[in-house]
Amino acid sequence: MTLGIGIAAQMGGAIGIDRRFQAVTPHEMWLDTRADAERQELLAQYGPEILGKNGIIPFVTPRVRRWLRLEPSLEQRLAKVVAPAGYLAGCLTGADADAAVCDRTQANLYGCFDVAGNRWDVDLAERSGLPAHLLPRIADPFETVGHVSAEIAALCGLTPGIPVAAGMGDGTGGWLAAGGVEPGICIDTSGSSSHFAITVDRFVTDPDGLLSCMPSAVPGRFYLLGFTTSTGLAHRWLRETFDRSYEDLEALAAVVSPGANGILAVPHFNGRVSPFEAAIKGAFLGFDDKSGPGDFYRALLEASAFELDGWLAVSLRA
């Protein structure tokens, strides 16, 4: 028996919806780099304010800024801009735009949230190019925001009326599930992107943007972290490029000496985010005609490890 539904979904994405909660834009996900120029503009104009209030670079405001720059009339069709978790909650419950929510653990990814005050900074939103009326209501992750509608229940084989919680981002949910509830607990997330998070009991900001800070679902807890957007994606690219299995690459890399025979890898295949610099992309340096797949794979593994080591060192000084 299903007693309740909580949603964990990708963070940093944006979906524009109309009054009926119908999508009027595609989901522009966190890996989409088309708004990097707008993000750079916002950081140049309001960087210290954005990082000081949100604890992380903006993901949603640059996207909306770009949308409305390219298509100003879109604002007339937009009622709210929601993250994937909020979109799924609205679809499950048959909500209209007035009921749209964003849980507090990922609201700072909009780039116009006041983490300390747990509220939107509407002035910063407007200055960033996101009209304040498009912001959804802030909800607690465990708050019931509606109930499964009869239509969705029939489609999914569920019972109508099941409570639906606001949920949280996939990263936040993963850190919670991994036990990140007490200060000092460290969590290494290795996937499409990589994160190294330390659980802390205060909101910590880094004016240089090397470290980010995310609210936990546990009140009074936060995650101080560094991350790359493409560690696992870079591994997949290398596997596909050399047409080898991961098992083959790991076996080849295992017999390569530390230092990867002189190859240095830069793992930021989709731009660097900690700190943000879109122009820094992936690279392999120091290879020659004797370099093989194992050397490249070893270099990429070492680069990922050194990223983690660097974040840990900086985090311990924060």
> What is the reported pLDDT for 317?
81
> What is the reported pLDDT for 254?
98
Residues 23 and 129 in one domain: yes
Structure tokens at 173: 């949910």
Residue 29 vs residues 32, 81, 137, 179, 258: alpha-carbon distances, Å: 6, 13, 21, 27, 36
Residues 152 and 38 in one domain: yes
The domain boundary residue, chosen from 151, 170, 189: 170
Count the domains in the chain: 2
Residues 68 and 104 in one domain: yes
> What is the reported pLDDT for 69?
98
Residues 185 and 312 in one domain: yes
pTM for the whole thing?
Answer: 0.93
CATH number, residue 149: 3.30.420.40
The domain boundary residue, chosen from 153, 170, 187: 170
Task: For residue 2, tell me if it sits in a domain.
Answer: no
> What is the reported pLDDT for 311?
86
Structure tokens at 237: 């690219």
> What is the reported pLDDT for 62?
99
Degrees to nearest 5, angle at CA 260 with 256 and 265: 140
The string of pLDDT tens digits covering residues 166-205 is 999 999 999 999 999 999 999 999 888 888 999 999 999 9
> What is the reported pLDDT for 111?
99
> What is the reported pLDDT for 65?
99
Residues 241 and 257 in one domain: yes
Residues 115 and 190 in one domain: no
Task: For residue 115, tell me if it sits in a domain.
Answer: yes
Residues 57 and 159 in one domain: yes
Residues 150 and 14 in one domain: yes
Residues 28 and 154 in one domain: yes
* Half-sphere exposure (Cβ direction) of 249: Cα atoms closer than 13 Å: 21
Residues 117 and 59 in one domain: yes
Supply the angle between the helices 36-54 and 60-70 in degrees, to the nearest 10. Answer: 140
Structure tokens at 193: 């992107």
> What is the reported pLDDT for 169?
94
Residue spans of the chain under pLDDT 50? none
Structure tokens at 76: 């007339």
- Domain range for 67: 8-170
Q: Measuring CA to CA, which residue among 227, 229, 244, 230 is closest to residue 295?
A: 244
Task: For residue 1, tell me if it sits in a domain.
Answer: no
Structure tokens at 183: 């200060």
